[in-house]
Amino acid sequence: MRAMKLILAPMEGLADFWVRQALTDVGDYDWCVSEFVRVSGLLLPPKVFYRWCPELKLGARTRAGTPVHLQLLGSEPDCMAENAVRAVTLGAPAIDLNFGCPAKTVNRHRGGAVLLDEPEVVHAVTAAVREAVPAHVPVSVKMRLGNEDDARALDNARAVVDAGAAWLTVHGRTKRQGYKPPAFWDRIGHIREVVSIPVIANGEIWTADDAARARQESGCDDLMLGRGAVANPRLVSVLRHGGETGWDAILPILQQFWVDVAGTGTDAQLAGRIKQWLSYLRRRWPQAAQLLEQLKRETRPEVIARILTDFVPRGLT
């Protein structure tokens, strides 16, 4: 296998501008993907693109210089193409198409993973976007193995290739399987074997062992990291350089995150964001569980800042 590329996944409601900034500050990602911009029958104004991908105003890069690709979600080929052109005009260096979102509210409106029941729609949307944007702008696709089952996985993959996608990211579960372990990396391998474009494996990559198994079972060189990267912000460094991550390397990330987000939302919203992150971190670090307990009922920014600054774990060696 060649050297792997590592990509930060789009995660609606989790990896927003601030989390992308924090994770790419400490992780050597090849690129990251924005939360999806939902397209439904209209040419969206620039402010919508800037809302979901503020990096467009910053050269489409995070503070650390990591490129940010813009993701679109929708089912209408012409409208998706029109909005892709606008995104590129606003500075998007690449367009990613979402055929993987499992959210019921999205699927009810013919968006995300439900479209995997219709490979012809997957093809039509991808082809329309590919034809509309300049040739130098890559168009990629992110999909799951399928909607209710994976019977159409190969049909969808071939549709993506035939439509001109530059690469394909596959989350190793169907929509029905949601986020329930395991991810079926071997089935990603079945797709990789029949397509002529690079395939990136995604799903249930929490540790270096997971990453090694995902690459082995899928045959993919490259990985997209999602919740595992939130649960261990240093996961990319571990995958690239080995070693382990101690709590002493995590707390400063949270402290800087809190400085960065100051004033960007209501007190309750911001408190919710750091508590959400700690709920992932506590999977690995008991210190995060202790910190979450101290913050549990707190929303005042200055108090949260003080707790983060003064935090000392109890009873841990």
User: What residues are annotated to the active site?
Assistant: 101
Query: How many other C-beta atoms can be found within 10 angstroms of the C-beta atom of residue 131?
Result: 14
CA distance 201 to 72: 20
CA distance 33 to 139: 12
Coil vs helix vs strand at 32:
strand
Q: CA 52, 58, 62 angle in degrees (round to 5)?
A: 75
Check: CB of residue 18 under 8 Å from CB of residue 260: yes
Q: What are the residues whose beta carbons fall under 8 Å from the beta carbon of 238, sequence distance 6 or more?
A: 207, 208, 232, 244, 245
The single-letter DSSP state of residue 67 is: B
CA distance 183 to 211: 12
The letter for the amino acid at 291 is: L
Token code pair at residue 219: 């045959």
CA distance 116 to 172: 14
